[in-house]
Chain A
Amino acid sequence: MNLNEESLQKIAELSRLKIDPKDIQNFLTDFNKVLNYVDTITELNVSSVSDEDLYPNEGNSLRADKTVEGLNRSQIESFAPSFQNGYFVVPKVIET
């Protein structure tokens, strides 16, 4: 199958990505090449695979219910782009 520009833009929006308008044709060409290549899987017969095969019951992998040391505030502050008074700072999201 081939995606058109509108569909690609929709997927980019869902991915929180913006494709530069001057790159869009190249991106679309490359993306469709890849899509056509992986498209071969739509022809594979997978009817023999059951849900049990797909989600084998290997049991839960749970840790003991114990408190362990995590990152402290100064460590978080050191790698956060913007951090104030114990909070990550983001642009205003509520209009007043």
Chain B
Amino acid sequence: MKELWKLKYSDIKKGLNSGEFTPIELAQSLVSRIEAEDSKIKAFLSWEKESILKAAAESTERRKSGNPLSEFDGIPIGVKDNICIENTITSCASKILENYRSPFHATAIEKLLAKGFVLIPRANMDEFAMGSSTENSAYQVTKNPFDTARIPGGSSGGSAAAVAASFVPVALGSDTGGSVRQPASLCGIYGLKPTYGTVSRYGLVAYASSLDQIGPLSKDIDGIIDVYSVISGKDQRDATSKNIPAFDPSKVKELPWKGLKIGKMKITSEIEPDIAKAYESLLAELESKGAQLVDLDFSLLSNSIPIYYIIATAECSSNLSRFDGIRFGQRKDPSGKLEDLYVTTRSEGFGKEVQRRILLGTFSLSAGYYDAYYGRAQKARVLIKKEYEGYFSKVDLILQPTSPTTAFKVGEKTSDPIQMYKADILTTSVNLAGVPAMSVPIGTDSKGLPIGLQITAPALHEDKIFGFAKMISDWASKVELPETIK
């Protein structure tokens, strides 16, 4: 069998459209790869070989008869376990939804199926998307394909590891405070958090509704552009969806180096030295090509994690109140009393991190603390939005490292929630402001672990991010994805 799993997204698309190989040959190759290697990575909570091969066979027939649904027909895509697929378990890696089968498709899934993508659910994640390491899953810890003693990042760690391990060329994750970009960075791939409101949240199980956004992860930039162009656009079923058409990939153009204004940050002690070195050397190269570097003051953004945790947990406390044992998933009914049913179902169904966030959210929304915490955090969020507007009056793009560290060891930060929360120190402000950002691989540290660069643009300017990512694609090609997993 041809080792088609080794191919990057753009080569897969080319090979399918030229007839070099068929969707079923491709799916068989990927399924074999998953069968052989996923016991070491644990990227998937479960996957159904028959349904993957059936969808690939149908795509093959469409292509043979000359009626493909689109140029993407037959491309496999991994799906995070919090995005609903009809008649498929969507557990959010939580015990409380252990056996919940969604009765409907998320809008993003409907759009992908209409174009012929072959779905490969259920990528592991931090429970209800709460975490930065994929150690908070109720079922298993996903490992980083570059070093299986280390975490892949979170909360979309299953999706990121599946792409890096060559189980799928592209995957869907969700990003509330960095949950696509941080694991993309730690796994040496691309990951996009789109402008808030450009991808429908219908069918994405809510964690923090004003911050959550579905985003793609891929081995190459073309995978990100294509999937974003398919899943974006107005959706009547999501009231926060922006009234804009789907992203037009023809808008992506390389930018002129001369006069390109790039906002940069001052390196702090929180950034690992190898990451700082890779970042500084990239900036020096960009300057030598004619880009103009502008120092930005990120002092307000350094407060973004506290602001994020107040807002996100308040929304989580409200959103997760629907899991009460009455209508969905698991029910624990020890005494036959309604109050006990609620309390026991939720206490046994939610993991510790989810419980901690519900409690924090309930606290900040409670009488006596609302003004000091939630009300103040909402005002601070407005300041962050204004801060970004100020930056983008001076620069075209902002560049920062995506993560302050490369992949850390399994268990290294689980005993200290603050250390874990700080993994998202460079990503959360983007969600608070609602602007788009993408992580791009730019090198490796002295241990061979990937380093990511975060590119942030003004709202609705994903085209600038993509154009710039293409311009620096030489750096991404230095990061070799692991063919064999240690």
Contacts and interface: CB of A to CB of B under 8 A. Distances in A.
B121 interface: no
A18 B347 contact: yes
Contacts of B305: 37-38
For chain B, the bracket of interface size reads 35 or more
A16 interface: yes
Contacts of B64: none
Contact of B103 (A42, A53, A78): A78
Interface in A25-42: 27, 30-31, 33-35, 37-42
B338 interface: yes
B341 interface: yes
Interface stretch (B358-366, B393-401, B448-456, B471-479): B358-366
Interface in A1-43: 3, 8, 11-12, 14-20, 27, 30-31, 33-35, 37-42
A91 interface: yes
B338 A90 contact: yes
A59 to B, nearest CB: 10
A17 B383 contact: no
The B interface is mostly helix, strand or loop, or mixed, namely helix
Interface residues of A, number: 44
Given A16-B342, A71-B103, A92-B336, A37 B418 contact: yes
Contacts of A16: 321, 324, 342-343, 346
A46 B346 contact: no
B310 interface: yes
Contact of A34 (B240, B336, B366, B417): B417
A40 B300 CA distance: 12
Nearest to B321: A16
A61 B240 contact: yes
B380 A81 contact: no
Interface string A45-57: 0101100011000
Contacts of B325: 81
A15 B327 contact: no
B326 A88 contact: yes
B239 A91 contact: no
Given A81-B326, A91-B336, A53 B382 contact: yes
B109 to A, nearest CB: 17
Given A31-B359, A49-B383, A88-B327, A41 B101 contact: no
Given A14-B366, A46-B380, A90 B303 contact: no
B344 A27 contact: no
B355 A17 contact: yes
Nearest to A42: B372
A17 B347 contact: yes
B383 A91 contact: no
Given A34-B418, A71-B104, A81-B325, A17 B360 contact: no
A79 B103 contact: yes
Given A8-B359, A11-B359, A11-B366, A49 B337 contact: no
Contacts of B324: 16
A93 B338 contact: yes
Q: Which of B310, B330, B350, B362 has most A Cβ within 10 Å?
A: B362
A34 B326 contact: no
B268 to A, nearest CB: 16
B373 A41 contact: yes
B378 A80 contact: no
A11 B363 contact: yes
Contact of A33 (B341, B350, B377, B417): B417
A30 B421 CA distance: 12
Nearest to B237: A63
A31 to B, nearest CB: 6
A18 B355 CA distance: 10
Nearest to B378: A54
B46 interface: no
Nearest to A74: B103
Nearest to A26: B352
A1 B280 CA distance: 39
B317 interface: yes
A82 interface: yes
A41 B236 CA distance: 36
A17 B358 contact: yes
A60 B67 CA distance: 41
Contacts of B306: 37-41
Contacts of A40: 303, 306
Given A11-B366, A41-B373, A75-B103, 10 more contacts: A15-B317, A17-B350, A34-B417, A38-B310, A39-B306, A40-B303, A79-B101, A79-B328, A80-B326, A81-B328
25 contacts: A8-B359, A11-B362, A14-B366, A15-B362, A17-B343, A17-B346, A17-B359, A33-B417, A34-B309, A34-B421, A38-B310, A38-B360, A41-B307, A41-B380, A46-B382, A48-B383, A79-B101, A79-B329, A80-B328, A81-B328, A88-B327, A90-B326, A90-B338, A90-B341, A91-B338
Interface of A: 3, 8, 11-12, 14-20, 27, 30-31, 33-35, 37-42, 44, 46, 48-49, 53-54, 61, 63, 71, 75-76, 78-82, 88, 90-93
Give 5 nearest A-B pairs by CB, closest first.
Answer: A81-B331, A46-B379, A49-B379, A38-B306, A75-B103
